[in-house]
A = this chain, B = another copy of it.
Amino acid sequence: MKILRVDLATRQARKEEVPPYYQDLGGRALIAEILSREVNPRCDALGLENLLIFAPGLLAGTSIPCSGRISIGGKSPLTGGVKEANSGGNIAHYLARMGVKALIIEKKPSDGRKYILHVEETEVNFIPAEDYLNKGVFETAELLKEKFGKNIQASIIGPAGEKMQLAAGIANFDNEGRPSRYSARGGLGALMGSKGIKAVVFEAPKSKSVQPLRQEKYKETLKKYVELIMTSPATGQAYPKYGTAAAVDIVNTLQGLPTRNFSEGEFEGASKINASALYDLIVSRGGEGSTTHNCMSGCIIKCSNIVPGQDGKEIVSPLEYETIGLLGSNLAIDSLDDIARMNWLCNDLGLDTLEVGASIGILMEQGVLPFGDAKGAIRIIEEAGQGTVLGKVVASGAEITGKVFGSRHVPTVRGQAMPAYEPRAIKGFGVTYITSAMGADHTAGPTHRMNVDHRQGTGQAEASRNSQVGCGICDLLGLCLFVASGIGPNRQVLVDLLNSVVDKEYTVDDLNGMVKKFLARESDYNELAGLPRIARLPEYMYLEPNKTTGTVFDVPMEELEKNFL
């Protein structure tokens, strides 16, 4: 494996030996290490010194199901700290099969032009991007497929990223070349925009897959791994049928479904936007719709979906729980069609649906438009595309929207909008929000499915810590988070898989230790960037009860010592 380093100032790419300190790392862990060693934590996140990093996990390129998550990261323009956001699709597999351990993009084009980075197995081409600029993500994807063929994978930013808007994400191709697998969070789209890169195109590598070094052990473990996933009720039955939308009922029952700008925890319209409503809608409309869909090649969970309109034509794929929570219940909007439409609009502009949903929630509370006004919400997202000032504010994310509108009810941590779990009701998630270096991130350490009393202030620290380590394992290996649900406590199977692929003798403890080490690395980086190791929820969540639960966030700070993880 090599590091593929692209210098935009000289427009040259080079393959470098992997130094020993990057050797055993992958995905999110590798990003943390590269940032720690190469990027001044105090630098301007949209400036020359930041890096845009693509890092496959340690199992990428193999035929292991669900092993193709691509980690994208850098210093976050939104939080000012470390940021990794991973997505499905096949980019990680492509890179690993090319022998690339990480793609590191440095500096900015010295000629001030914008480029498409075209990554082939043997070289990187810098293609002027004029023909693609100011175009939506979907049109850009079509143009790229026309030019480079159907087999490419790509990471694209929309107009939002080009304008360096802080709620901009990076859209990655799914298995069919649909640019809708999002590295949504932390403003990574703005970071890519600041580099003058409209898209990174990955040509299909010639080699079919990465061959595990110990074939016997691999085959045997793989079988066990697949069996665990297929026989788990969550990954074998619920996710394939209902996708992530299954969480609507779970979280609504816990009274932790963000409703009306995170003021309530139970949405009266939940049954219209929950998993069965979505399932029924897709099935009844047929056409291009599908209740199950794999975002990456070889996935056996297939939690993704394709939502059709009344004419059977695709509106959006996928429609996921977080988006339903933030653009649905949080805005008191109970129409899946409207939510799907908003989702597509955000995807096309290249905007994080969570930031946009949280921003519009603030606007609704401020009276700019009423709660439940789907047409108004759609219009505001369209305004983000048209470039009205209101649209620009929303595209700058919830934190800035809150400041501009003088709101004291801004559901953010470290400047980043919360995902669809109200931390006064599901307190373990609140612990994750404030202790994870990633800030309020749904993939950093969910606790809503854990066996704890979510309303209790005590006991949440351990739940969050366990979940954060579990997520960290997936993020290191490049596995989908749902693998963690599927295998449950059987982490040994992941260790066995890893050992068979890289020919090592790790133990479960080793793996847990590697994860704790990179999580600490992330927190160290944040500390050097000026961010506290333990952040705070917004003040109102300590003082004002959630209207449904009557609870405030009261996890004792003593449980969250400095070196929490």
A406 CB within 8 Å of chain B: yes
Q: Which of A92-100, A300-308, A389-397 contacts B (4 or more CB under 8 A)?
A: A389-397
In the complex, whether A519 has a CB less than 8 A from a CB of chain B is no
Interface presence of A47 (CB below 8 A):
yes
Indicate which residue in B404, B405, B543 contacts A404 across the interface (CB closer than 8 Å): B404
A392 and B408: CB pair below 8 A? Answer: no
The answer to whether B406 touches A164, judged by C-beta atoms less than 8 angstroms apart, is yes
The reply to whether B392 and A396 contact each other, CB–CB distance below 8 Å, is no
Instruction: Tell me whether A481 is interfacial, beta carbon within 8 Å.
Output: no
Contact call B408/A46, Cβ cutoff below 8 A: yes
Q: Is the CB of A47 within 8 A of B530?
A: no
Which of A42, A47, A163, A389 counts the most chain B CB atoms within 10 A?
A389
Interface segment, A310-318, A502-510, A531-539?
A: A531-539
Closest Cβ of chain B to A551, distance in Å, is 19
B532 and A532 contact, CB distance less than 8 A: no
Q: A165: nearest residue on chain B (CB-CB)? A: B406
Q: How many residues of A contact B (CB 8 A)?
A: 29
* Contact residues of A between 355 and 398, Cβ < 8 Å to B: 388-390, 392-393, 396
User: For A388, what are the chain B residues with a Cβ–Cβ distance below 8 Å?
Assistant: 389
In the bound complex, residues from chain B placing their C-beta under 8 Å from that of A390 are 389
Whose C-beta in chain B lies nearest to the C-beta of A540? B47
Q: Are B48 and A539 in contact (CB under 8 A)?
A: yes
CB pair B389 A396 closer than 8 Å: no
Contacts of A392 in B (CB 8 A): 404-406
Number of copies: 2
In-complex Cβ contact of A532 among B48, B396, B530, B536 (8 A): B530
CB-CB under 8 A from A48, the residues of chain B are 539, 543
* A166 in the interface (beta carbon within 8 A): yes
> A44–B389 Cα gap in the complex (Å)?
27
Min C-beta distance of A400 to chain B, whole Å: 6
User: What is the minimal beta-carbon distance from A183 to any residue of chain B, in angstroms?
Assistant: 19
A166 to B404, CA, bound (A): 8
A544 CB to nearest chain B CB (Å): 11
| Interchain CA distance A164-B42 in the complex, whole Å | 28
Q: Which of A173-205 contact B (CB under 8 A)?
A: 190
Asked whether, in the complex, the Cβ of A47 is within 8 Å of the Cβ of B163, the reply is no
Given the interface contacts A389-B390, A400-B400, A539-B48, does A532 sit within 8 Å of B406 by beta carbon? no
- A389's partner among B403, B404, B532 (CB-CB below 8 A) is B404
Closest approach, in angstroms, between the C-beta of A497 and any C-beta of chain B?
40
Q: Whole-angstrom distance between the alpha carbons of A391 and B543 in the complex?
A: 31
Asked if B42 contacts A536 (CB within 8 A), the reply is: yes
Q: List 15 A-B contacts (CB under 8 A).
A: A42-B532, A42-B536, A44-B536, A47-B539, A48-B539, A48-B543, A190-B406, A389-B390, A389-B393, A389-B404, A393-B404, A396-B404, A400-B400, A400-B403, A400-B404
Given contacts A190-B406, A530-B530, A530-B532, 7 further A-B contacts (CB under 8 A): A44-B538, A47-B539, A48-B543, A392-B404, A392-B406, A400-B404, A404-B404
